[in-house]
């Protein structure tokens, strides 16, 4: 059974995709439901997906498949399931077919907190295949499973696998794996100001944490994300 807000969002997505051929943006959803932040839309979308009403399509902008509707909405709209392609432009001139891209095995080192920091991760659990195009040069890369929701406004959800390029430095605005005080690892946006380092969440429910620069060690930068549906 859906809540009122979940039903309103599902009805809005269905009407807009029927009218325009593509789903509405998160900003349009937020405005239509009169919510204060996109994090509320993320939670509603996740709830609809978990209940089997929609499916998000990986690596496609604004791509949602409506799988089913409640009986009342289905009868009203004459709904039949279809895949909505968020970007209907022709592929880039130099794009490679998916089966020609190839994949590389990376060690999945464990779970990384996108919330409050958790114990540092140091041992590989198993390997995960990632598209070779995510990897750059000869740098060492590894993968981590995300735990928590503090980065959802950056498109990183609980359970996602992030691909990290090993690095000891970062530019302001980079999303990094940061080791805090030698024993806690977290995934956050990096900001440096003088001798202070701020680790910013991408969710208004979490506060920015500020440390001395000797308390934070950058261990890698985010270069890719893998989501399983």
Q: Which residues are catalytic?
A: 150, 188
Question: In the chain, how many H helices and how many E strands?
Answer: 5, 13
- Count CB atoms within 10 A of the CB of residue 62: 17
Rounded distance between C-alpha atoms, residue 150 and residue 157, angstroms: 8
Q: Is residue 134 a contact partner of residue 223, using CB atoms and an 8 Å limit?
A: yes
**DSSP, res 89:** S
Query: Residue 65 CB: number of other CB atoms within 10 A?
Result: 16
Distances (CA, A) of 75 to 51, 55, 87, 90: 19, 21, 28, 34
Which own/partner pairs from 153-157 qualify as long-range (CB within 8 Å, at least 24 positions apart)? 153/37, 153/38, 153/39, 153/42, 153/202, 153/203, 153/204, 154/189, 154/202, 155/225, 156/114, 156/187, 156/202, 156/225, 157/42, 157/46, 157/227
- CA 229 to chain centroid: 12
Residues of 25-39 as b/e, b for ≥16 C-beta within 10 angstroms? ebeebbebeebeebb
């Amino acid at each position: 059974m859906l809540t009122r807000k979940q039903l309103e969002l599902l009805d809005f997505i269905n009407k807009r995709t029927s009218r325009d051929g593509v789903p509405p943006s998160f900003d349009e959803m937020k405005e239509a439901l009169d919510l204060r932040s996109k994090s509320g839309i993320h939670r509603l979308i996740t709830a609809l997906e978990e209940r089997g009403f929609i499916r998000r399509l990986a690596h496609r902008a604004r791509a949602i498949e409506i799988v089913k509707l409640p009986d009342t909405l289905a009868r009203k709209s004459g709904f039949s399931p279809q895949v909505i392609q968020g970007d209907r432009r022709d592929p880039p001139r130099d794009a490679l077919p998916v089966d020609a891209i190839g994949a590389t095995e990376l060690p999945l080192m464990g779970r990384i907190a996108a919330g409050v920091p958790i114990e540092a991760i140091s041992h590989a659990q198993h390997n995960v295949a990632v598209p070779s195009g995510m990897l750059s040069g000869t740098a060492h890369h590894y993968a981590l499973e995300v735990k928590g929701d503090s980065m959802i406004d950056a498109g990183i959800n609980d359970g996602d696998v992030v691909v990290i390029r090993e690095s000891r430095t970062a530019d302001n605005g980079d999303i990094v794996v940061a080791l805090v005080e030698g024993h806690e690892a977290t995934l956050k946006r990096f900001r440096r100001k003088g001798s202070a380092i701020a680790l910013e969440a991408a969710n208004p429910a979490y506060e920015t944490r500020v440390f001395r620069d000797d308390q934070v060690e950058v261990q890698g930068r985010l270069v890719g994300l893998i989501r399983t549906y």
